[in-house]
A and B are shown apart, each in its own frame.
Chain A
Amino acid sequence: MACKGKAHKFGDNVNTDEILPARYLNTTDKAELSRHCMEDADKNFAHKVKSGDIIVAGRNFGCGSSREHAPVAIKAAGVSCVIAESFARIFFRNSINIGLPIVESPEASKGIAKGDTVSVDTHGGVIKDLTKKRAYKIEKYPPFMEQIIANGGLMNSISKRKR
C-alpha cells in the first residue's frame, strides 16, 4: 500500500471519544461520520483535511472504546494513512479489518512536522518526509495481517476462504 499527503499532527493518547464523539454514534452513515472526524481533538479537522492526507500522532493512538466508527470516519474523511508512535490494540485491529493503513514509527512520529508532505510505502517498509527529505524504516506487517490487507479487509478474506 502506498500513499502520499500532507501531515496533520496530534499528541499522545488521542482516544476514540475525541476521534468520533459518542454523540454521533447513532448512525452508520460513513459520509456523516466523516464530517465529525477528530472533532473533539481538532474542531476544524473535517474542513481542513484533503484526500490523501496523513495523520501523524504520538503514543497509544485510538485508545478507549471499540467503536469502529473511529477508523471508519478517518478513512471516509479521505485520510490515506495514520502514523503513530504506537496504537491501542482495538483501534489497530479495526483499522486492519477495514483496510485503513496504519503504521508505527516513533521516529517518524517525532520527526515529521505539521504540513510536511509525507509518503508511506507499507510494502517497501518506508516512510518518507518529502519536505524534510528524510526517510524512516518501518516494519512490514506480519504475513497474517498482510493477507487481510491484500484481500481488502477481513470480510473479503473470509469470503475468499469460503469460496
Chain B
Amino acid sequence: MGYTITEKILLKHTKLKAIHPGEFIRAKVDICLGNDITAPFAIEEFEKLGAKDVFDRKRVVLVPDHFAPAKDMKSANQCKRLAVFAKKHNLTNYFEVGKMGVEHALLPEQGLVLPGDLIIGADSHTCTYGALGAFASGVGSTDLAAAFATGECWFKVPQSIKFVYYGKPRKWVGGKDLILYTIGKIGVDGARYKAMEFCGETIEKLPMDDRLTMCNMAIEAGGKNGIIAPDKITRQYLRSIKKEKRRPGDGKFYASDKDAVYNETVEIDARAVEPVVACPDLPSNVKPVKSLKDVAIDQVVIGSCTNGRLSDLEIAAKILKGKKARSNVRLIVIPATQKIYLEAMKEGLAKIFIDAGGVFSTPTCGPCLGGHMGILAEGERAIATTNRNFVGRMGHPNSEVYLSNPAVAAASAVKGKIAHPDEVV
C-alpha cells in the first residue's frame, strides 16, 4: 500500500519503518515558530522545565506580529519577552519590528520553508507552508515549549482527503475563492483532524501566492494540514529567494503514491466557481458575490497571512487605480512583509491606495484578529481578505466580517457595499 505525501513526510521525520493513519508518533521538527501571543506561554513552560538551551538556535523562529508594533503596554511586555529570549538563546531567526512581517508570509519569503519539511507553529495558520510541499501544522504553546527543548512534537497520523480541481478558473477567481468554495462545500469541520491534499490541473497551474492562500485556510475546514505536491512552480519560487538567505538545498520533493489511501476524494470544477464571500459568522457560510444585494460596509481590510502578498495588492490596485473608496468607508491596506511593502512602493501601488483614500500600514496581523489597526465598533460591518469571520473576530461582538478575495474587497471599497469587480472595472 502506498503513502500520501503527508504520510511520507511524517514517516521521514521519525525512526519508524512504517506509519498508519490513527497512529501516534513523535517526530522531529525542522522549524518551530511562535509569535507575541503564543510564545510568551511557551517561554514560561520552557523555563519551568529547567532546560538550558533550545534544541537548535537556527530552527526556533520568533515573530512578534499580532499586536506589534506593540499596541499597548501589556503587548509591549509580551513582545519584550520574545526579544529577551531571542537574545539569551542567540536565535538566528528573531524578527524585530522593522524586519518582521505577518509570520506566514514572512517565513516562506525568508527561505525558512523548504519542500519536505516538518514545521510546527503555535499559530493555527501555520498550515500555510503546505503550499511549498511541507507538512506544516498549528499547535499550542505547550507543544512549542516542548519543541524548543526537544526538537520534537507528537502527532496522530492523519487520514488524507484528496481535493481534485479541474478546469480554468473564471476571471477574478483566485485561490481564495477556490478554498472558500471548498470550505462552503464541506463545512468548518469537514476536514477535522485530516490532511487536505490539493491537486489536479487547476492547482498545477495555480501561482504560489494562490497556493499559499489555499493551504492557509485548511484550518478553517478543521484540517490538520493543507498540502500541495511541490513542482516547477515551487522550484521557481525557491529560486526567486536569494540563495544566501535561504536554508541550504531545495528540500525534498515528495509526491503521493498512485496507490496511496485516501479517506475521501472530492472533485471540484473550478470553472463553476464564482467570486464568493463567506458571510458572518462562519468561513463556511459561502455565497456568490452576485447573490448579495445592498450589503453596506463601513470598512475594508486588504492584507493578512491569507491575502497580504504582492500579487494580492496588485489585484486590489488594479481595481482601485484612479478611483476613490466611498467617503464613508475606511480602506485599510496592510502589506504582509517589509519586502512586499517596498515592492508595493516601487510599483506605485501604495500611491494608488492612498490616492483612493486608504491607509497603507506597516505589516501586522492587527485587525484580522481584532487586535489593533482597525477594530470594528458596535454594529459595524467589514469586508476583509482575512481568514475568519467568527462573532467579534474584528472587534465588537455585534460587528460583522465578510471574507473575500482582494478584487472583491477593493471593488466593495469603491461601491460602499459588497460588490463584484465587474461592477467597478
Contact = CB atoms under 8 A, between A and B. Distances in A.
Interface stretch (B240-248, B253-261, B350-358, B388-396): B388-396
B146 A93 contact: no
Given A22-B371, A64-B390, A158 B146 contact: yes
Interface in B366-425: 369-371, 388, 390-393, 397
B75 interface: yes
Nearest to A156: B49
Interface string A142-163: 1011000000011100110000
B303 interface: no
Contact of B146 (A18, A60, A67, A154): A154
Given A66-B139, A68-B142, A89 B192 contact: yes
21 contacts: A13-B189, A15-B391, A17-B392, A18-B390, A21-B392, A22-B66, A22-B393, A25-B371, A26-B71, A63-B188, A65-B123, A66-B138, A68-B122, A88-B189, A89-B224, A90-B139, A90-B140, A94-B140, A97-B142, A145-B24, A154-B146
A59 interface: yes
B56 interface: no
B390 to A, nearest CB: 4
A66 B38 contact: yes
Interface in B72-93: 72, 74-75, 77-78
A28 interface: yes
A41 B154 CA distance: 31
B362 interface: no
Contacts of B50: 159
Nearest to B42: A68
B41 A69 contact: yes
Contact of A155 (B71, B145, B222, B369): B145
Nearest to B81: A28
A90 B188 CA distance: 14
A31 to B, nearest CB: 14
- What is the size category of the interface that chain B forms with chain A? 35 or more
Interface in A10-50: 13, 15, 17-18, 21-23, 25-28, 40-41
A72 B222 CA distance: 21
A87 to B, nearest CB: 8
A13 to B, nearest CB: 6
B359 interface: no
B142 A65 contact: no
A64 B401 CA distance: 15
B124 A90 contact: yes
A60 B41 contact: no
For the complex of A and B, list the 7 residue pairs with the smallest distance between their C-beta atoms, beginning with the closest.
A94-B140, A144-B24, A26-B74, A97-B142, A68-B140, A60-B189, A66-B124
A73 B82 CA distance: 22
B150 interface: yes
A94 B142 contact: yes
Contact of B124 (A18, A59, A65): A65
B364 interface: no
A144 B71 CA distance: 41
Contacts of A142: 24
A64 B140 CA distance: 12
B129 interface: no
B337 interface: no
Interface string A57-94: 00110011111110010000000000000101110011
B44 interface: yes
Interface string B320-336: 00000000000000000
Contacts of A158: 49, 146, 149-150
A158 B369 CA distance: 32
